A and B are shown apart, each in its own frame.
Chain A
Amino acid sequence: MSANTPLIEARRLVKKYGDKVAVNGIDLTVSAGEVFGLLGPNGAGKTTTILMLLGLTEPTSGTARVGGLDPTRDPLAIKRRVGYMPDAVGFYEDMTARENLRYTAALNEVPEDEVEDRIQNFLEEVGLADAADNPVGTFSRGMRQRLGVADALVKDPKVVILDEPTASIDPQGVAEMLELIRNLAHRDGRAVLLSSHLLHQVQEICDRIAIFVSGKVVAEGTPAELGARLARGQARFEIVADTSSDRLREALGADATVEGADGRWQVTIPSEQSKSLFRRLVDADIPVRGLVDLNADLDEIYRRYFQREEVKA
């Protein structure tokens, strides 16, 4: 299977709950060896989309294909090939990590002679080998999340879907989790689809991103592409300098807009002027202490998409 074979495809997927539209006609393609991020606030329809891809809920209209199969018609075959870690993943508290994984393996009919090796491998992979025989009730939130990844991997899936894999774990745990996820795609060649509302993490590991707002994908692409598309010939910077907005406007010319206060200014200028920005600030004798490029920053992208959606609404 080549690296570019699409393993997840969604076309015009729609899900309605009564009058409420949870997912409103989304298109997605995820290929092997790729980490794809669904980014959006809670309630934007990320989890509903994931459930439709898994065949756990039926789309109102539209089609989905996972590994070439239709989740509505072949849910069992899909669930055999897709590892899924739900949001706020839970385990049987009285059972050990290993026993929990054994149960999952039994439900997936992992051949008996492979079960123990496979479980041991994945526990080591997620760094839980030492705690493998402790009851899950004693685990921290971060350990549960990592066990969730091991649990999704037990069936050795081509496609891994992770719902909020980094929610509510500490920074050290997040770094380990992101490394783990990156390996799944880039080293092992699996297709990884993850959802998150945490921008920086998504930005760090995702090859491509879809921004979800109220059931719709408002933008899709690499983080850099998203930034460029939004800018529309405009570039945004943050300038840290003890000066006034009038002096900044004077220095940057009539095409620039200046916002902000108290020495932190957000300026928007035509893209072609980006290169000369710093020289012009220095020439105008503005005491610049810092200059930040906001264009590839997901925070900024996210904020602007939301503004736009709110204006439309």
Chain B
Amino acid sequence: MTATTFDTWVRKRPAWAVIARKEFADHLLSARFIALLVIMGLVALATVYSAAVELRDVAPQATGQPGLFLQLFTVATDTLRLSFLQFIGFLAPILGIAYGFDAVNGERSQGTLPRLVSQPIHRDDVINGKFVAGLGIVGLTVVIVAVMVAGLGIFLLGVVPTGSELVRLVSWSLAAIAYIGVWLAFATFCSVVTRRAATSAMVSIGVWLVLAIFGSMIFELVAGIVSPVNPADPYSELDNLRTQISLSRLSPITLYQEASTVLLSPHVRTVNIVTLEQLDRAIVSRLTFGQSLLLVWPQLVGMVAATVVIFAIAYIRFMRQEVRA
């Protein structure tokens, strides 16, 4: 038995789990966690409360109408203009960024990285453990917010969610975690390639704001170049729109918005352009959860894939770095 196999044999808890546990505990006790939970909580309460007030007015007519509970999350009221879903879509990246931007360069600037990698662990245990801890704390935050909002909804509307509504809510939580995972992976990548935590935070926040605020503008511009609109040809306009939609799906924000809208609104049956002739004689009906899931499966897989790819790049860069760099 060589030394290495003997060592793996006696190992009780994998090193990445030891690191993840410590990081998770750090996050849980940090001011960051409290602050972000309060921000997300307030936003969630505000949107759901205002949606509930509006829904209550129409509730008498809507008695017995299915899907009322989920509308809490999808209805954008006149006062706030954004639904819970959209607010989370806009704000959630900050969660991923907050738990990732100083993952590696924070250890470097504290001088703990050389000490950490000189312990009997593989170097990837460090980045894996930190990513798992980040996903864990993000998951915890999302679950707390979702449970709180659902509870408030039950209290305000007096409507108890059905089984399938609960399933949709759970699947939305998973989609939201995958979405935040993309940002967590990106922030982790930034923390690997930049020396200072401040730089890494600026880069990730910058990318987030540009995508969130100017994203649609940029995609419109690029689509105009790729498939220009010819005023004489209505089909060129259609092509232009299709290009715009395809391009915008490069952004995780779009993927999340589409996935969460479909998962929480059973009546939405497509995320693409619908022409009038396609709607002709269509029967208004609700999709089953399976059908909704099928509709946005590509979006969900896309978000998970983006997380994996970005994390893999961060991982490779980290493995190739000199300890002292």
Which A residues form the contact surface with B (CB < 8 A)? 47, 51, 54, 56-57, 69, 74, 76-77, 79-80, 82, 84-94, 103-104, 106-109, 148, 151, 155
Contact = CB atoms under 8 A, between A and B. Distances in A.
B111 A90 contact: yes
Interface string B1-12: 011100100111
A74 B120 CA distance: 10
A150 to B, nearest CB: 12
A76 B122 contact: yes
B18 A107 contact: yes
Contact of A76 (B7, B19, B22, B111): B7
Contacts of B117: 56
A107 B110 contact: no
B323 interface: yes
B144 to A, nearest CB: 23
Contact of A84 (B2, B26, B118): B118
Contacts of A148: 115
Contact of B115 (A69, A76, A86): A86
A79 B3 contact: no
Contact of A106 (B18, B118, B322): B18
Interface string B284-325: 000000000000000000000000000000000000001110
Name the residue in B12, B19, B111, B118 with the highest tally of chain A Cβ atoms < 10 Å from its Cβ: B118
A108 B323 CA distance: 19
Contact of A107 (B7, B15, B26, B323): B15
Given A74-B3, A77-B7, A104 B110 contact: no
By CB atoms of chain A within 10 A, which of B116, B120, B322 has the most? B120
A15 to B, nearest CB: 11
Contact of B10 (A94, A106, A109): A109
Nearest to A47: B324
Given A77-B7, A86-B111, A51 B120 contact: no
Contacts of A92: 26, 110, 112
B323 A56 contact: yes
B114 interface: yes
Nearest to B30: A94
Given A90-B112, A91-B112, A109-B10, 17 more contacts: A56-B114, A74-B2, A76-B4, A76-B121, A79-B121, A82-B118, A84-B114, A86-B114, A87-B114, A91-B111, A92-B112, A94-B26, A104-B115, A106-B22, A107-B116, A107-B120, A155-B120
Contacts of B26: 92, 94
Contacts of A89: 111, 114-115
Contacts, number: 80
B230 interface: no
Contacts of A88: 111
A57 B22 CA distance: 26
Nearest to A106: B18
Interface residues of B, number: 28
Contact of A103 (B12, B22, B114): B22
A106 B21 CA distance: 11
Nearest to A92: B112
B278 interface: no
Nearest to A111: B12
B119 interface: yes
Contact of A77 (B4, B19, B111, B116): B4
Most chain A beta carbons < 10 A, residue from B10, B12, B115: B115
Max chain A CB contacts within 10 Å: which of B3, B10, B12, B15? B3
Nearest to A94: B26
A79 B120 contact: yes
Given A88-B111, A107-B18, A80 B7 contact: yes
Given A57-B323, A80-B7, A107 B121 contact: yes
B119 A90 contact: no
30 contacts: A47-B324, A51-B323, A51-B324, A54-B118, A56-B114, A56-B117, A57-B322, A69-B3, A74-B3, A76-B4, A76-B122, A79-B119, A86-B114, A89-B114, A90-B110, A90-B112, A91-B110, A91-B112, A92-B26, A92-B112, A103-B22, A106-B22, A107-B18, A107-B120, A107-B121, A109-B10, A109-B11, A109-B12, A109-B120, A151-B115
A301 B59 CA distance: 92
Contact of B118 (A47, A79, A94, A109): A79
Contacts of B118: 54, 56, 79, 82, 84, 86
Nearest to B17: A106
Contacts of A85: 115
Contacts of B122: 76
A289 B209 CA distance: 76
A82 to B, nearest CB: 8
Point out which of B3, B110, B119, B323 has the most chain A C-beta atoms below 10 A from its C-beta: B119
A108 B3 contact: no
A80 B115 contact: no
Nearest to B109: A90
A108 B115 contact: no
B227 to A, nearest CB: 46
Contacts of B18: 103, 106-107
A54 B120 CA distance: 10
B115 A90 contact: yes
Contacts of B2: 74
A127 B2 CA distance: 38
Contacts of A76: 4, 7, 120-122
B3 A77 contact: yes
A309 B164 CA distance: 80
